[in-house]
Each structure stands twice: as structure tokens, then as C-alpha cells.
Amino acid sequence: MTFELTILGSSSAVPTSKRNLTAHVLNVHERFFLIDCGEGTQIQIRKNKIRFGKIDHIFISHLHGDHIFGLFGLISTFNLLNRDKDLHIYAHPDLENIINRHIEYFERSISFKIVYHHLNPKVNEVIFEDDKVKVETIPLKHRIPTCGFKFTEQPYLRNLRKDVVQIYNIPISKIQEIREGADFMNDAGELIPNSRLTLPPYKIRSYAYCTDTAYSEKIVPIIRDVDLLFHEATFAKSMKKQAKLTFHSTSEDAANIAKKAAAKKLILGHFSARYKDVSQIINEAKEIFVNTFSAEDGEKYEVNLERQES
Amino acid sequence: MTFELTILGSSSAVPTSKRNLTAHVLNVHERFFLIDCGEGTQIQIRKNKIRFGKIDHIFISHLHGDHIFGLFGLISTFNLLNRDKDLHIYAHPDLENIINRHIEYFERSISFKIVYHHLNPKVNEVIFEDDKVKVETIPLKHRIPTCGFKFTEQPYLRNLRKDVVQIYNIPISKIQEIREGADFMNDAGELIPNSRLTLPPYKIRSYAYCTDTAYSEKIVPIIRDVDLLFHEATFAKSMKKQAKLTFHSTSEDAANIAKKAAAKKLILGHFSARYKDVSQIINEAKEIFVNTFSAEDGEKYEVNLERQES
């Protein structure tokens, strides 16, 4: 039951020799969610040994080229590999036309269906949900309509303690309600309290992806207590003016958001290509929020499975 | 006076973890010509430490995605870097609209002018010429209109031998005609034969880029005696049928062309992603044309400057 983020690209606007353009993959129980798709994403997917066939959902934060120019090649590759499963793309409505024009000219036809989910980046709403995970939008503050995404595991049931099914002769039909918290009456009419039968459930894990955005406290309630927060820090704090002008964040902005939201861990990225060494940005953020890391292409961040306390 | 090819990408259609999509850079006397521009080209340009500002001419063989999807990001990067020099793009006429639509949506405006040179891939013609180099099209045989490109240095003049200007008191006004082969009459009325004054000129160097294409002997007269021949070999010889069907070449096709054209060196590339190891393809070609190499991302092929014999 993996919950693991892979950074595919960590540069903003322009790639560098060490940083590709923005893309993340979140593995939630072997469902692989692709978030943004800058140029080179399909190459990074290959390099990180993520199987194309595992990707069914792509979330696009906004329609700036550095977040989507990898889609054309990725779709082309899916087509060459004769993909037949639906591909779901969650994005600003304009993307549908842009991709359709490409497909018409470059692919003629494709072997799979693309299901477009048009986003309204102004509201916080659930845009995907299945039995394992829920995805909601995070309205952000950028030059064009932009939203982040929060991935939250669905609640876990309590786990049966070892051997209780045999010890108390529990019929299979009762297991679900016991895992939901019920006590169990055995054949002798004896009531076994749930605490003897089960262990507390696992904690729900969560990841919030916030780029591109200026400092915006409005996102704090949405991302509160998140395990993993990715927040852009395009600039060091000395470039506050430039950040404001371009609707991006500084190291301090990102750290303040992480602190206010009581995130467990902060990952900074979307670094301006002017920074050959991003340690300055990371250190500035650490002064406000200690548990800060820099996004590095190919790095993975796993959130471990832990039990709730009771 | 460099004449050096850098391979930026060597995979066909789909990139692999080791091979990017097609793009070459030819350095002719510090003029950098970009040939094709698959996804990830701007990243490869960075990794190979080629300066963006040195690239003024881009030659596009044909409008399949794996040869052009890197253009959008490259143009965007040029714009972000506030390029002001004209950018010349030599391609099928359709590319102009495709790029214009992208610029309209993603860039709004750009800081430089793109000069489009519409190619007619059916004819062999000179499409660029300056004092150092001449570029001509090579009609190829593919599923859509496609042409290769041959780069040929302009003829060199003879070089003055050391110290002759002082020894014979040659006025500067005479140097050009002596380098063109004239003898020189000195003040004493003595005729100094050109052979005493000059060394033979350097050999003209040339590079031919032939992808994507089925086997086509028609190109042989155009590429005859070329120093460096890049020819696609998407498939090993066992996949002759598949090559024919998709208008691509096998190892044998490429080697036969190199042999018939008496090329000095053959570089194979545009390998199908099915080949994790391309040594089979290279060995098959070597049986026909010994001086065969495999294109590898980041590799450079320099053609050394040599004097003609007389």
C-alpha cells in the first residue's frame, strides 16, 4: 500500500542540464497519477522505470508551456504502443482543443479514448474519487487560471488482529462490520469487544501539489496537516519583487504556507534556472519551516503507513 | 575551423531511457545548425553545452512529432531569454501555421522574428548559402514529404606559405589573387610561381543527414563522397518487411547507400526502441560498409581539416 511521490522535473520555465521541466508522479497503491507534463516527461517516466500502462490519470495545473509541452509526445507514444485504456486528463477546458488539433495533424487517429475533465480552478472541489484515493483542486493565484491538487487516501478500516477469526470462529459475513468497529457476539452469547478483535486503522496519507502560485493564504485550510506539501519556490527571498510581478513564490512564501498549514514535510521546487545551487532557497525556507527539502529530478518521497493511536 | 557533428538524440518514434528523440547539431566554423528537433532537444542542447544564442538556423526533415515536438519548448525558451536575432526555420510549409498557433496561445508575442523557408522536399536544391557553407535538400522516400540535408563547406583558397609576404614584398592588394592561384611578379620583374608562394587549399568537408527514409538509390549522386553520412537504420535486416511497410531503412539498406555513395564514414541512428542493444544493426552494416558507427546521444564526430594534395 505504497504512497510515494517521484519528482520527474524541478525547473521552472526553462530546463537546465540537471533539472527537467515540471512533472510529478504520485503512486497511491500502484495507481500512478501524473501531475503536470513538461517537455521531456515521457523520457523521465522511462528513466524512472514507471510503466506507461500504469498511468490513467493526468492532472494539469495550468496551460503554460513548461507544464504541458510533454503531453504531445506522451500521447503519441501511448498511441504507438497501442494503448487501449481510456486516458483521463483533468485540465483547463482549452487543453481539449489544443490536444485535438495535435492529434488531427500528427496522429490522424489514436488507439484510445481521452476523457477530458474540465476544471474550474476557482473552486476547491473533488475531481476524482475511487475506493483508494480522492483528488481535489486547490485554487491558486497565478497569471492565468491555475489550480493545485490534493491527493488524500480514503479512510482505512480497522485491521483484524492475528488469528481472531479462528479463535472466536467469526463468520466471513461479520468481518466488514467488525472492521468498521462493531463488537462480536460468539456462539456462546459472549460479547467480544472490538478492541480485542482489531487494531486501529492506518492513518490516511495525503499529498498537496501547489504550483504555479503567488503567496496565497487561502489555500491553508485546504492543505492543513498534509503529509507532503510540494510548494513552488521559484525565487530566493531577495527576489520578492520579481516573485510578486510574475505571480510566483519565494522560499519564505512557501515556508510560511507550510508552517500555517502544519504540513509534515515541505518540498520546494520549480526553481528559476538562474539558481545553479538552490541551497540558499532551501536554507531560507528552513529558518521558517525546518522540515524542508529540495525537489531533485528522480528523487522519491514515500509516506510510510502508520497506525492511528486508537 | 571546426566541422563537427553532435548527436543529441538517436531514437525513433519513442524515446528510451538512453536515447532521446532525433536532433543533430552541426558546428561549421562556430555556426551551429540544428537539424530536427524532437522532444527534449533543448535539454540535450544544454547538456551538451551548446549555446542557444549560436543557433540561428533549424532544418526540419519532416513533420512527424518525433522530429519536431521539441520546437515549442525551444522557441519558448528563446523568448524567455529575450532572443532578438532572427531564427530561420527550413521546413514543410505546414509548420509555419503549427508554430504560429502555439505562439499565439502560449507566448502571445515573441521577442524575435521567425523567418520560415518553405521546402519542396521533392527536389534537390540549395536552401542556404553563406561564405562558409552551403546547405541543400536531399529528397527522401517516406510516408509524408521528407527531405534530408547536405552541408558542404565552401571551397577554400590556397594558403600563403610562411613569411612569403615579407620575403617577396607582396602588397596586400595582391594576396587574394595569389591565394586564388596567380603567380606574382616582384619589383625586379621576376615571376614567382604560385607553388613557391602557397600551399594547397584545405579539402572541402561535408555532412549528409538522411532520415526518415526507405532505401532510395536516387540520393546516391547527391551524397557522393560525403565525409560523414548519417543514414537511418530503424531496423535490423531481419525486419526488412516492417521497414518497407513503414518507409524506413534496415542496417543493410543504409550500408548499401554508404557504399554506393563512397561515403567516408557512416553513422547509423533513428533506432527502433525495440533494440536495447544496437550492435546487431551495426555489425550487419559493417559487413557491407566497414567504417560504420552507431549514433549515441552526446557523441561528437569531427571531420579534421586536411590539405588537398596539390
Cβ A159 vs Cβ A151: under 8 Å:
no
Confidence of residue A187 (pLDDT cuts 50, 70, 90): confident
Domain stop point among B148, B177, B199? B199
- A92-108 pLDDT, tens digit per residue, is 999 999 999 999 999 98
A308 part of a folded domain: no
Tell me, yes or no, whether B139 and B207 share the same domain: yes
Q: Are residues B218 and B180 in the same domain?
A: no
- Same structural domain, A44 and A111: yes
Residue B308 forms part of a structural domain: no
Can you give the CATH number for the domain in which A84 is found? Answer: 3.60.15.10
> Is the domain of A106 the same as that of A134?
yes
Residues B101 and B146 in one domain: yes
| Size of the A and B interface in Cβ pairs below 8 Å | 91
Say which amino acid occupies B149: F
Q: Is residue B277 part of a domain?
A: yes
Supply B208's cell numbers: 549528409
Contact residues on chain B for A64, CB-CB shorter than 8 A: 106
Average pLDDT across chain A, whole number: 97
Same domain assignment for residues B181 and B101: no
Residues B144 and B165 in one domain: no
Residues of A in contact with B17 (CB under 8 A): 43, 46-47, 49
Model confidence at A310: pLDDT above 90? no
Last residue of a domain, one of B199, B230, B254: B199
Closest Cα of chain A to B77: distance in Å? 6
Task: Answer yes or no: are the C-beta atoms of A121 and A139 closer than 8 Å.
Answer: yes
- Single residue among A199, A215, A250 that ends a domain in this structure: A199
**What is the pLDDT averaged over residues A280-291?**
98
Residue B309 lies in a domain: no
What would the pLDDT profile of A114-124 be if each residue is shown by its tens digit?
999 999 999 99
**A residues 38-77 closer than 8 Å to B (CB):** 39-40, 42-43, 46-47, 49, 63-66, 69-70, 72-73, 76-77
- Give me the pLDDT at residue A161, please: 94
**3-class DSSP assignment, residue B244:** helix
Nearest CB to A39 within list B39, B66, B98: B39
Residue located via cell numbers 487494531? A199
Segments of chain B with pLDDT less than 50:
none
What was the pLDDT predicted at A309? 87
Q: Cβ contacts (< 8 Å) between A46 and chain B: which residues?
A: 15-17
Give the model's pLDDT for residue B57. Answer: 98
Q: How confident is the model at residue A46 (pLDDT cuts 50, 70, 90)?
A: very high
Which pLDDT score, from 0 to 100, does residue A37 have?
A: 98
Is A257 exposed, middle or buried, given 0-12, 13-18 or 19+ CB atoms closer than 10 A? buried
Q: Which domain holds residue A184?
A: 159-199
C-alpha cell at B104: 499565439
Report strand pairing: B126-129 vs B133-139.
antiparallel
Q: How confident is the model at residue A136 (pLDDT cuts 50, 70, 90)?
A: very high
B232 and B132 within one domain: yes
How many domains is chain B built from? 2
Q: Is residue A71 pLDDT above 90, yes or no?
A: yes
Residue A214 maps to a domain: yes
One domain for residues B164 and B140: no
Per-residue pLDDT tens over the stretch A247-265: 999 999 999 999 999 999 9
- Shared-domain flag, residues B281 and B134: yes
pLDDT digits (tens, 9 = 90+) for A122-134: 999 999 999 999 9
pTM over 0.90: yes
Residue A58 is inside which H or E element, if any?
A: strand A55-59
Alpha carbons A286 and B236: distance in angstroms, whole number: 55
The reply to whether A213 and A183 lie within a common domain is: no
Does the residue A309 lie in any domain? no
> Does residue A187 sit in the same domain as residue A288?
no
Over residues A83-94, the pLDDT tens digits come to 999 999 999 999
B280 in a structural domain: yes
* pLDDT at residue B309 in the model: 87
Does residue A305 lie within any of the structural domains?
no
The C-alpha angle B74, A149, A79, rounded to 5 degrees, equals 50
ipTM confidence score: 0.93
